[in-house]
């Protein structure tokens, strides 16, 4: 029996399980860190982890220059406009969970790029989309928010969902999109000089509006404002969330209309950063620290 146990211990996966289980039973920080490093953040199984993206790679496509780098705009002066090879990635998910998220990303990518026929109707400064598939698009939205919270990458340091993190993990693990009003996301398209600015990625930030708390992400030509609160949003805000019947309102906003984004946009433009990002033309290989 001992021999069998020893043999099992030699299998890498079993060794991982034993270490992970040992780490779970001791209040020892290094072991907990080790356990976390070997456990899939979604299914919580000890598995070999993939180098996962938080913001899907397809969202960075417009940003790639001819050397397959892209531009990231950080709100942190010191981190601003670093060139990186493939976007912030880190070991987070096992193969199966990575594939699960890829399915949502594929759907969102097609929906946002015109690869799927959606209904759309202009309504003042908004476009009302219809015929979106609620489940994959909603799980896509939740998966980005949740990944940013579990990420240890510096870029996502402002996203920390507290008790909501486990609640959203459960929803993602169960593939249960839940009701539209819970952890809803308002989407605004960033319009500048008549075109949607697909090539800006801003560091996610905590925001407060209308008495609610949330997080603002900017990627893929959209500002995504997630409401993360135990309280219900107002009906007006909830109308802006993706609805269970597949409708979603996308506000078309000029870059200058984005409140604190005005300042950021202004600052970045003054520094000629935005132009640099927009043009995708820089071929400098240096890192700007
Ligand atoms: Zn997993």
Residue partners of 60: CB distance under 8 A and separation at least 6: 70, 86, 87, 201, 219
CA of 49 to the centre of ligand 1 (A): 8
CA of 42 to the centre of ligand 1 (A): 5
Question: CB of 80 within 8 A of CB of 29?
Answer: no
> What does the alpha-carbon distance between residue 132 and residue 127 come to, in Å, rounded to a whole number?
13
CA of 164 to the centre of ligand 1 (A): 19
Query: Could you tell me whether strands 185-192 and 248-254 are parallel, antiparallel, or unpaired per DSSP bridges?
Result: parallel
CA of 153 to the centre of ligand 1 (A): 19
> What does the alpha-carbon distance between residue 113 and residue 59 come to, in Å, rounded to a whole number?
10
| Per-chain residues with Cβ under 5 A from ion ligand 1 | 40, 42-43, 94, 97
CA of 157 to the centre of ligand 1 (A): 22
CA of 38 to the centre of ligand 1 (A): 11
Question: CB of 196 within 8 A of CB of 223?
Answer: no
Question: CB of 54 within 8 A of CB of 151?
Answer: yes
CA of 248 to the centre of ligand 1 (A): 30
CA of 184 to the centre of ligand 1 (A): 24
Q: Point out which residues pair with 187 in neighbouring strands.
A: 224, 250
CA of 94 to the centre of ligand 1 (A): 4
Nearest residue to 173 (alpha-carbon basis) of 46, 49, 43: 43
Using left for φ > 0, alpha for ψ between -120 and 50, and beta otherwise, residue 26 falls in beta
What are the angstrom distances between the C-alpha of 6 and each of 3, 16, 127, 196?
5, 14, 63, 60
> What does the alpha-carbon distance between residue 168 and residue 23 come to, in Å, rounded to a whole number?
24
CA of 46 to the centre of ligand 1 (A): 8
CA of 116 to the centre of ligand 1 (A): 29
CA of 261 to the centre of ligand 1 (A): 36
**What string of pLDDT tens digits covers the 289 residues of the chain?**
444 444 433 343 343 444 344 444 444 677 766 666 689 999 999 998 988 888 877 676 544 445 444 445 555 555 544 544 456 788 999 999 999 999 999 999 889 888 888 998 988 888 999 999 999 999 999 999 999 999 988 889 999 999 999 999 999 999 999 999 999 999 998 887 777 777 677 889 999 877 889 999 988 889 999 999 888 888 888 888 999 999 999 988 887 776 555 444 444 333 333 333 332 223 333 322 2
């Amino acid at each position: 029996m001992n021999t069998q146990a020893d043999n099992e211990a030699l299998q890498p996966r079993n060794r991982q399980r034993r270490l992970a289980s040992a780490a779970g039973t001791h209040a020892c920080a290094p072991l907990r860190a080790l356990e976390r490093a070997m456990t899939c953040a979604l299914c919580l199984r000890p598995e070999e982890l993939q180098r996962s993206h938080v913001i899907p790679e397809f969202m960075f496509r417009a940003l790639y220059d001819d050397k397959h780098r892209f531009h990231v705009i950080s709100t942190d002066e010191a981190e601003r406009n670093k060139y990186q090879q493939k976007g912030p990635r880190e070991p987070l998910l096992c193969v199966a969970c990575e594939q699960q998220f890829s399915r949502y990303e594929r759907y969102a990518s097609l929906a946002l790029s015109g690869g799927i026929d959606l209904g759309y109707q202009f309504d003042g400064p908004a476009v009302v989309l219809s015929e979106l598939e609620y489940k994959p698009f909603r799980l896509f939205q939740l998966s980005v928010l949740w990944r940013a919270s579990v990420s240890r990458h510096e870029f996502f340091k402002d996203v920390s969902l507290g008790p909501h993190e486990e609640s959203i993990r459960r929803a993602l693990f169960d593939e249960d999109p839940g009701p539209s009003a819970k952890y809803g996301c308002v989407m605004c398209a960033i319009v500048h000089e008549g075109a949607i600015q697909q090539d800006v990625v801003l560091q996610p930030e905590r925001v407060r509006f209308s008495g609610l708390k949330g997080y603002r992400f900017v990627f893929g030509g959209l500002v995504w404002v997630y409401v993360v609160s135990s309280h219900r949003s107002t009906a007006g805000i909830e109308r802006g969330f993706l609805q269970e019947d597949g409708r979603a309102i996308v506000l078309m906003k000029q870059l200058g209309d984005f409140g604190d984004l005005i300042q950021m946009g202004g600052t970045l433009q003054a520094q000629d950063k935005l132009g640099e990002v927009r043009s995708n033309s820089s071929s400098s290989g240096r890192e700007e620290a």
